[in-house]
Structure 1
């Protein structure tokens, strides 16, 4: 029984770093599977009149799926390359960096999928989920504050 538990816990802990397999034998990033679930729950696309509702809905979803840390700067990107025993950078890619990058890019894709075309135009040039989030917060911060004051 302990052996079955350790096998199941080790496979679940490695699933975030290792891609899942689909029936075709092609790897599928687990962040993309999560993205699909989150996208189906998002019923509002951000436009100029619904920032407070959109932000509330997206924060609840991100909190539910433990993805809010991608946006709140509580996780720092791991080093891209591994270091050897002497602390020197190697040419070997850090698996933790790949897992972080996959998760960040899934979030970037998810955020963009929740924006109306007019709002998406505001984020052109951003290359990360955090960048998109900062642009949106900056653009809509005064709307959010005035909504809270008027309630």
Structure 2
């Protein structure tokens, strides 16, 4: 990773440059109300591949904007903060560039990539109790009416939605639901 000795020589590291220059070809969809899991999977894999996931999972915390000088008497701008802010601002731009207009409106007030990531996660993974009941009921009543691939895909989709809402279904129950939905 490139580093700098002063705020005037801030540089963008190669991993962030890679993300910026290839974003539109690597993130193939814009996040909307129906594709959060797909979008998140694409984006998070890209963040891991470029070693930037730490900005959205809060392991790379923002340094202090000001620090004391060597004599501990005067506040000065922290060069580490300036570099962190540069990276985070570019990452924030990359994330918001992949949002649909309606989703982008919900994160306009955010000032960091971590804040946007958290709000998106909360918006798209928080399901109401009634919706959870609906999903569980749907899982127990799903029936095979088309190809086996479509049937299994439907069961997996419902199980994934439940898992996303922190309401996992164990494998034995999934097998039971799957078998119960098959014709005699």
- For normalisation by structure 1, the TM-score amounts to 0.72
Select the structure of larger CA radius of gyration: 2
User: Number of aligned pairs?
Assistant: 130
Distance change >3 Å, CA 86–CA 16, structure 1 → 2: closer
TM-fit CA distance, 1:76:
1.9
- For normalisation by structure 2, the TM-score amounts to 0.60
TM-fit CA distance, 1:124:
1.9
1-structure distance, mates of 2:10, 2:79:
16
2-structure distance, mates of 1:34, 1:88:
41
Q: Residue 79 of structure 1 is aligned with which of 64, 68, 80?
A: 64
TM-fit CA distance, 1:139:
0.6
TM-fit CA distance, 1:35:
3.8
Point out which structure has higher relative CO (alpha carbons under 8 A, 6+ apart). 1
2-structure distance, mates of 1:136, 1:61:
17
2-structure distance, mates of 1:53, 1:76:
27
2-structure distance, mates of 1:126, 1:100:
16
Distance change >3 Å, CA 118–CA 128, structure 1 → 2: same
Q: Comparing 121-130 with 139-148, which one deviates more in the overlay? A: 139-148
**What 5-or-longer segments of structure 2 have no aligned partner?**
128-159, 175-184
Q: Which has the higher strand share?
A: 1
CA contact (8 A) 2:30 2:99 kept: yes
Tell me how large the CA RMSD over aligned residues is: 2.8
CA contact (8 A) 2:65 2:81 kept: yes
- After superposition, the C-alpha distances for 1:6-57 in whole angstroms (9 at most, x for unaligned) are xxxxxxx5x24379xxxxxxx7841562442351311121111111011111
Distance change >3 Å, CA 94–CA 28, structure 1 → 2: closer
Distance change >3 Å, CA 41–CA 118, structure 1 → 2: same
